[in-house]
Amino acid sequence: MGDLVIGARSGAGEPEGAGGRTARSAESAEPSGSVEDTAAQSAEDQGGGADDVPAAAEDDERSAETPSGERRQRSFWKELPILIGIALILALVIKTFFVQAFSIPSESMQNTLQVGDRVLVDKLTPWFGAEPERGEVVVFHDPGGWLSDEPAQQSNNSFVRGLQDVLSFVGLMPSANEKDLIKRVIAVGGDTVECEGEGPVKVNGIALDEPYIFPGNTPCGTKQFGPVHVPDGRIWVMGDHRADSLDSRYHMDQPGGGTVPVGDVVGRAFVVAWPLDRWATLPVPSTFDQKGLAAAEPFVPPAAGTLGAVGLWPLVRRMRRRIDS
């Protein structure tokens, strides 16, 4: 289009008299050609400008990306302590209200639990009024005098002790300072429990079949007892290793007659979480499902005095049954 000359014709030449007109036409065409060239040049300039706009925008984007990326990187390192703080707070909340890890320090629960096992304890359901049930493995605070001779198990390294204290505070590792015990609930408030000779253990006159007892032990172990009436709000506990467990049988001369207050129970151990090759759930043995074993079904749980807690009680029971299954 830039090479087109306005007024040019193809075919025969014009008459001689028309030369002036042709010259004038040519002269008049020159400015038009200049205008056309100018227009073409303007179009090219505009085209070039249009092509230059994205390039400039890309340069602006590249120049803007660098400080933004640096800001994002700096922002991450600034936010990291906040994220760690939130994680620790969540761990502390979980430990306080939901689940806590405990370490097994002795052989009193063999072979169900071995020394060094880590168990997870459900601390949630007691908040809704759930009380320990027969057959459950529970962690409870020393009722008084049960662990008077047991030293706290702590490392000799001050750094390790400090780290353990911090991690145990937020529930990421068991505490070495807390004097807690772990046993199996054999009888609850209102029950009568006894064991004569070599056994079996009887609850409300019903004999228990206890396959979880340490091989070679008798149900009574080395100490027969009973009959003992368990007061309301208390439980009778025994270790699965009957010959190596200082449980309720050995504290009958203390207040409570060897029973443990329900208020001292931290929660139910429901799974062996560590080591991984020993991972297992801790269900209630079927012998505790025998008909007639319960002296009386519990009324409304003491802590479930509000309508909300009463409404949640069926859900709590279903949760506990799911753990067993």
Q: 85-98 pLDDT, tens per residue?
A: 777 676 666 655 57
Q: What whole-number distance in Å separates Cα of residue 268 and Cα of residue 123?
A: 7
Q: Are 143 and 256 in contact (CB under 8 A)?
A: yes
Taking only the tens place, the pLDDT of each residue in 9-19 is: 333 344 344 44
Which pair of tokens denotes residue 101? 């890890």
Q: What whole-number distance in Å separates Cα of residue 62 and Cα of residue 59?
A: 5
Q: Report the pLDDT value the prediction gives residue 236, as an integer from 0 to 100.
A: 98
Q: What is the Cα Rg of the chain in Å?
A: 43
Q: What whole-number distance in Å separates Cα of residue 289 and Cα of residue 130?
A: 18
Residues taking part in catalysis: 108, 183
Taking only the tens place, the pLDDT of each residue in 143-192 is: 988 986 554 555 566 666 666 666 665 555 555 556 789 999 999 999 99
Which pair of tokens denotes residue 33? 């050609």
Is the pTM higher than 0.85?
Answer: no
